[in-house]
């Protein structure tokens, strides 16, 4: 009884937060995917499968969705493996039964929602023009709920939910095991991902068949399957090279040489396959998407290392018992908290194209020619070395460089403050011991500070990279008709698509889903590759 | 060892000689730190200086104005319609702050102090939303807000678009604030709760009369974060406002710079200074809690 009361109070405390976080934090991800599968300009229209993605990424879409399905299967298998490794194997695996029931119930819920959502979302459209009566909306809502297909799906979901709850209860009470809650959630996650993977795979395969069929009718061959196989092989070769490289570090002598030769072979082969096939798969892709991703990547490469490096230097200097440390900290932090809108317009003027702008005054001091800064979309490497630089090496446009300088400027203080806290958590005895052993300042920094600071560095790198993919305000303020192609990140492209006089929600959602996928992939990558090198002391 | 063997001489010269290598290092450290200081404040100082210049002085890239033209501020305030935008921003910020505290304090308390079914799962899900970027969610959220807005307009006559609910309610549950407050609530000693229970207090009573008064510092920190977030937001307000009635100052300034007065750089600077001032005041009052909040959340994240 007391436990029940505690549970109820806790949920009463949490209810507003849960509702809002679900509605505006989690649901939108699924909703964006739903919207992206439809022709959806201002209002919902028919289901069009992956067409929005194909418009953005051409044939690469099929490859990516194929991998997405495989990834879901792999994740499900990982959970099954955890069940298998639990103390009592048979019992652990038997939890797959309630897991499947729960997964099925979740799937039925999603099914109900996908039938209901277009009906509900259409209500404002349906009641437009009618007299504004209180309760009209609610009555329309009930009408939508009572549409035959919706009621059928709803009943199916209720049935599934009850069955799943019953089966779960049986396993919880009768089968037990050491941690029924943990086992149950593992099995549910496994089943949900397996079902999601199967659905994605089905969607992908039907879409591929449709596309191939359409191409055949117009007399062309669409080599989607061979593209999937070749690109997958290329990626697998690169992954294999990485795994071998990790092994080779531990080997020595002749075997090491053989492994290195194999790595080189895999790298060349995989790289060749990817370089040859990906552009072919992307021939009809939206150039804006490609350009946007390219700009975003350059933006990340051009800001993250600099802001982290300078931030670490500032933190290290502040850590040397300087006088007025808190004053320095306060001032360093200013650019980070000030409104981006206000500081970006200052940089707009500091780096304006006029020959008399402050930035050009500075160049004059060093007897360098004045630049057009924010009006200059030409790559900086081309600007420095002249016109003979090949196209893929021109580097970020000068306008983008200004935005990079601005972004670095805003984040240095934040990085410094977090690094400073990280430095403070390193035990001082380590330094004393190393000093007694005669270590130099540089040696201390290299062998104590940097390794023990690695969790902070890891955290900041992650935040910084995600930050560059999120960046919007400064680019929105500093872009202009002359530099657009050089500075528009994918985020800005998405916003443009949705804010245009003729908005395209479906296409915008597809692009934002791609962007979200890229960020997720980077996060996973970073966890995998940097996580293994992080020293948690 | 060699130093110790020397006869001790208490004249100033000797000590100076001993410390010289260290002192050079110190000078370098301060030089670098001051360089950092200059790069951090120069844009602000130039902005302030340019806000007093004439247009010609700004375009010629002068460092200082020939005279202090306070008139710039008056013109910028009037031309940018700042009395409207400032008032909007203040209203939006206050509503967001109150709502966020009402939603997040109980939630953080529940995560920190209560045992309930699914606590860890819910907490994990909540934290994972921090990783979802705004660009991935603003389109569906916009559609949701349109729909809920129609519903609420029809039911209680309160539209969401071009009105305060669309600008504030989606930000009332902040996973970051809940996390920050929970970290503090967890550290409160258990004896306090035991004592309160003996006195017959329940969770609500304990939260309002013991936990909140003890948590002024972290609450202040989260208020500062929410204030800055609400004041600086641009993408979402651009989406959900079509009229000036509820547009915040960030949108107002953007509009002023891009369409109203694209060539009056001195007025742009004056308007920018006016937008910064409230944040500056807020920051200098709470900077201590603020930087510590950043630092601790950074380490724990």
pLDDT along chain B (301 residues), means of 10: 43 45 79 92 94 90 89 92 94 95 95 86 86 85 90 85 93 90 88 88 89 88 87 92 92 91 90 93 81 60 32
Give me the residue from A328, A334, A494 closest to B33, CB to CB: A328
Q: Does B169 touch chain A (CB under 8 A)?
A: yes
B5 CA: distance to closest CA in chain A (Å): 19
Asked whether the beta carbons of A350 and B46 are under 8 A apart, the reply is yes
Say if residue A97 is in the same domain as residue A212: yes
Q: Report d(CA A493, CA A480) in Å as an integer.
A: 14
Is A1 in a helix, a strand, or coil? coil
The pair of structure tokens assigned to A168 is 């779960």
| Tens digit of each residue's pLDDT (9 = 90 or more) over A236-288 | 888 888 877 776 666 666 677 777 788 888 888 888 888 888 887 788 888 88
Residues 178-207, chain B: which have Cβ within 8 Å of A? 178, 202-203
Assembly ipTM: 0.86
Phi-psi region of B69 (alpha: psi -120 to 50; beta: other; left: phi over 0): beta
Residue A300 lies in a domain: yes
Nearest Cα neighbor of A298 from A182, A394, A181, A217 is A394
CATH of the domain at A342: 1.10.3720.10
If asked whether residues A331 and A375 sit together in one domain, one would say: yes
Domain that holds residue A105: 59-216
Closest to A300 (Cα-Cα) out of A469, A459, A416? A469
Nearest to A470 among B41, B135, B294 (CB): B135
Shared domain for A402 and A484, answered yes or no, is yes
Decide if B277 touches A, using CB distance below 8 A.
no
Domain locations in chain B as residue ranges: 2-50, 71-300
A414 in reach of chain B (CB within 8 A):
yes
- Smallest Cβ distance to B257: which of A19, A345, A509? A345
Q: Are A409 and A474 in contact (CB under 8 A)?
A: no
Instruction: For residue A172, give how far its alpha carbon lies from the nearest alpha carbon of chain B (Å).
Output: 14
Do the chains contact at B104 and A516, CB–CB below 8 Å?
no
Domain match, A154 and A234 both: no
Residues contacting residue A398 through CB under 8 Å, at least 6 positions apart: A371, A372, A373, A376, A377, A378, A379, A380, A383, A486
Residues A71 and A6 in one domain: no
Instruction: Report pLDDT digits (tens) over A56-107.
Output: 988 889 999 999 999 999 999 998 998 888 877 777 788 888 899 999 999 9
Residue-wise pLDDT tens digits, A169-212? 888 888 777 777 788 888 898 999 999 999 999 999 999 999 88
A190 and A151 in a common domain: yes
Chain B residues closer than 8 Å to A124 by CB? 146-147, 150
Three-state DSSP class for residue B172? coil
Please report the residues numbered 337 through 366 in chain A whose beta carbons come closer than 8 angstroms to any beta carbon of chain B.
337-343, 345-350, 354, 356-358, 360-361
Report the distance separating Cα A344 and Cα B250, nearest Å.
Answer: 12
Q: In this complex, do B114 and A124 lie within 8 Å of one another by their Cβ atoms?
A: no
Residues 464-503 of A with CB under 8 A from B: 466, 469-470, 472-473, 476-477, 490-491, 494-495, 498-499
CB of B254 within 8 A of CB of A474?
A: no
Q: Does A517 touch chain B (CB under 8 A)?
A: no
Hey, which residues 288-317 in chain A have their CB within 8 Å of chain B?
Answer: 310, 313-314, 317
Q: Which residues in chain B have their CB less than 8 angstroms from residue A456's CB?
A: 298-299
The pLDDT assigned to B108 comes to 94
Neighbouring C-alpha atoms within 13 Å toward the C-beta of A153: 19
Q: What is the pLDDT of residue B11?
A: 45
Q: Is B98 on the interface with A (CB under 8 A)?
A: no
Chain A, residues 240-259, CB within 8 A of chain B, namely none
Mark which of A216, A234, A259 sits at the end of a domain: A216
**What does each C-alpha distance from B93 to B99, B231, B248 come to in angstroms?**
10, 7, 9
Identify whether A54 is part of a domain.
Answer: no
For residues A419 and A315, is the Cβ–Cβ distance under 8 A? yes
Closest alpha carbon within chain A to B136: A512
A50 occurs within a structural domain = no
Which of A295, A345, A351 is the best substitution to test chain B (most B C-beta atoms within 10 A)? Answer: A345
Close Cβ partners of A451 (under 8 Å, ≥ 6 residues apart): A535
Query: Exposed (0-12), middle (13-18) or buried (19+): which is B42, by Cβ within 10 Å?
Result: middle
Residues A123 and A171 in one domain: yes
Judge if A267 and A407 occupy the same domain.
no
Q: Is A324 left (phi over 0), alpha (psi -120 to 50) or beta?
A: left
Q: Which stretches in chain A have pLDDT values below 70?
A: 132, 247-254, 529-537
Predicted TM-score (pTM) of this structure: 0.86
For B71-300, CATH gives: 1.10.3720.10
Asked if A435 reaches chain B (Cβ–Cβ under 8 Å), the answer is: no
Task: Tell me whether A521 touches chain B (CB under 8 Å).
Answer: no
Q: Which residues on chain B are in Cβ contact (under 8 Å) with A409?
A: 39-40, 43
Q: Tell me: do A263 and A313 sit in the same domain.
A: no
Cβ atoms of A56 and A286 within 8 Å: the answer is: yes
B212 touches chain A (CB under 8 A): no
Q: Is residue A47, in this structure, part of any structural domain at all?
A: no
The number of folded domains in chain A is: 4
Q: What pLDDT shows up at residue A483?
A: 81
pLDDT score recorded for residue B89: 94
In a domain, residue A249? The reply is yes
- The C-alpha of B9 sits at a distance from chain A's nearest C-alpha, in angstroms, of 26
Is the residue at A68 inside a domain? yes
What is the chain A residue with the closest CA to B49? A346
The answer to whether the Cβ–Cβ distance between A322 and B239 falls below 8 Å is no
Measure CA B266 to chain center: 26
**Residues 129-148, chain A, touching B (beta carbon < 8 A):** 132, 134-138, 141
Residue A82 Cα, gap to closest chain B Cα (Å): 17
Q: Which residues of A touch B272 (CB under 8 A)?
A: 341-343, 345-346
With CB atoms and an 8 Å threshold, state whether B106 touches A456. no
Q: Report yes or no on A134 lying in a domain.
A: yes
CB contact under 8 A, B61 and A356: yes
Partner-chain residue, chosen from A13, A350, A516, that has the shortest CB–CB distance to B133: A516
Please check whether residue A120 is in contact with residue A141, taking contact to mean a CB–CB distance below 8 angstroms: yes
Please indicate, yes or no, whether residues A374 and A495 belong to a single structural domain of this protein: yes
- Identify whether residues A193 and A74 lie together within a single domain: yes
Verify that A307 and A326 share a domain, yes or no.
yes
Instruction: List the structure tokens of B162.
Output: 């071009």
- What is the three-class DSSP state of A434? helix
Please indicate, yes or no, if residue A231 is contained in any of the structural domains.
yes
**A123 vs B: CB within 8 A:** yes
Chain A residue numbers with beta carbons less than 8 Å from the beta carbon of B239 are: 498-499
């Amino acid at each position: 009884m007391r436990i029940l009361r505690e549970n109820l109070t806790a949920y009463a405390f949490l209810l507003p937060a849960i509702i809002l976080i679900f509605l505006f934090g989690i649901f939108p991800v699924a909703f964006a995917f739903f919207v992206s599968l439809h022709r959806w300009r201002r209002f919902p229209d028919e289901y069009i499968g992956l067409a929005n993605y194909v418009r953005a990424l051409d044939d690469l879409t099929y490859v990516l969705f194929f991998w997405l399905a495989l990834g879901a299967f792999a994740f499900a298998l990982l959970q099954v493996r955890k069940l298998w490794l639990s103390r009592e194997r048979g019992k652990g695996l038997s939890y797959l039964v309630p897991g499947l029931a729960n997964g099925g119930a979740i799937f039925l819920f999603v099914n109900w929602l996908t039938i209901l959502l277009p009906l509900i979302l259409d209500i404002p459209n349906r009641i437009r023009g009618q007299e504004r009566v209180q309760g009209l909306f609610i009555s329309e809502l009930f009408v939508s709920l009572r549409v035959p297909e919706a009621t059928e799906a709803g009943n199916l979901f209720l049935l599934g939910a009850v069955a799943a709850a019953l089966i779960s209860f049986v396993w919880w009470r009768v089968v037990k095991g050491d941690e029924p809650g943990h086992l149950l959630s593992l099995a549910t996650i496994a089943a949900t991902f397996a079902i999601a993977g199967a659905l994605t795979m089905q969607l992908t395969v039907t879409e591929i068949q449709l596309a191939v069929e359409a191409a055949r009718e117009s007399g062309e061959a669409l080599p989607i399957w061979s593209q999937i196989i070749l690109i997958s092989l290329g990626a697998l070769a690169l992954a294999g090279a990485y795994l071998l490289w990790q092994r080779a570090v531990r080997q020595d002598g002749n075997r090491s040489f053989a492994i290195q030769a194999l790595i080189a072979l895999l790298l060349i082969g995989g790289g060749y396959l990817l370089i040859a096939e990906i552009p072919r798969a992307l021939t009809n892709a939206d150039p804006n998407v490609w350009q946007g991703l390219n700009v975003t990547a350059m933006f990340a490469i051009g800001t993250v290392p600099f802001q982290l490096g300078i931030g670490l230097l500032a933190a290290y200097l502040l850590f040397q018992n300087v006088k007025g440390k808190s004053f320095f900290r306060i001032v360093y932090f200013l650019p980070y908290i000030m409104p981006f809108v206000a500081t970006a317009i200052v940089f707009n003027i500091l780096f304006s194209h006029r020959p008399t702008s402050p930035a050009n005054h500075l160049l004059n001091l060093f007897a360098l020619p004045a630049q057009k800064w924010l009006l200059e979309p030409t790559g900086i490497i081309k600007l420095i070395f002249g016109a003979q630089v090949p196209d893929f090496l021109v580097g970020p446009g000068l306008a983008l460089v200004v935005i990079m300088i601005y972004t670095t400027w805003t984040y240095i203080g934040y990085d410094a403050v977090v690094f400073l806290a990280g430095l403070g958590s390193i035990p001082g005895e380590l330094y004393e011991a190393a000093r007694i052993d005669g270590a130099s300042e540089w040696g201390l920094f290299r062998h104590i500070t940097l390794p023990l600071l690695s969790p902070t560095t890891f955290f900041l790198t992650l935040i910084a990279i995600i930050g560059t993919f999120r960046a919007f305000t400064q680019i929105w303020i500093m872009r202009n008709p002359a530099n657009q192609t050089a500075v528009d990140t994918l985020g800005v492209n998405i916003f443009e698509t949705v804010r245009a006089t003729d908005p395209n929600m479906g296409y915008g959602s597809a692009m934002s889903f791609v962007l979200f996928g890229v960020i997720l992939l980077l996060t996973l990558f970073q966890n995998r590759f940097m996580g293994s090198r992080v020293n948690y002391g | 060892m060699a130093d110790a063997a020397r006869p001790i001489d208490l004249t100033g010269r000797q000590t100076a000689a001993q410390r010289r290598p260290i002192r050079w290092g110190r000078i370098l450290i301060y030089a670098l730190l001051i360089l950092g200081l200059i790069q951090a404040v120069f844009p602000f100082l130039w902005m302030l200086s340019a806000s007093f210049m004439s247009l010609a002085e700004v375009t010629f890239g002068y460092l200082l104005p020939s005279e202090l033209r306070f008139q710039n501020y008056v013109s910028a305030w009037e031309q940018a319609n700042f009395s409207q935008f400032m008032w909007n921003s203040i209203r939006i910020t206050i509503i967001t702050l109150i709502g966020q505290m009402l939603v997040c304090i109980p939630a953080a308390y529940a995560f920190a102090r209560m045992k309930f079914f699914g606590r860890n799962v819910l907490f994990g899900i909540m934290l994972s939303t921090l990783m979802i970027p705004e660009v991935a969610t603003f389109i569906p959220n916009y559609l949701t807000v349109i729909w809920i807005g129609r519903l609420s307009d029809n039911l209680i006559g309160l539209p969401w678009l071009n009105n305060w609910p669309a600008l504030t309610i989606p930000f009332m549950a902040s996973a970051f604030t809940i996390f920050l407050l929970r970290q503090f609530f967890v550290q409160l000693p258990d004896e306090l709760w035991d004592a309160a229970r003996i006195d017959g207090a329940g969770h609500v009573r304990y939260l309002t009369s013991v936990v909140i008064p003890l948590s002024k510092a972290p609450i202040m920190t989260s208020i500062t974060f929410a204030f800055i977030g609400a004041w600086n937001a641009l993408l979402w307000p651009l989406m959900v406002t079509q009229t000036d009635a509820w547009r915040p100052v960030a949108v107002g300034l953007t509009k002023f710079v891009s369409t109203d007065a694209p060539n009056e750089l001195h007025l742009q600077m004056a308007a920018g200074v006016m937008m910064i001032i409230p944040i500056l005041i807020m920051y200098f009052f709470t900077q201590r809690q603020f930087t510590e909040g950043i630092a601790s959340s950074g380490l724990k994240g």
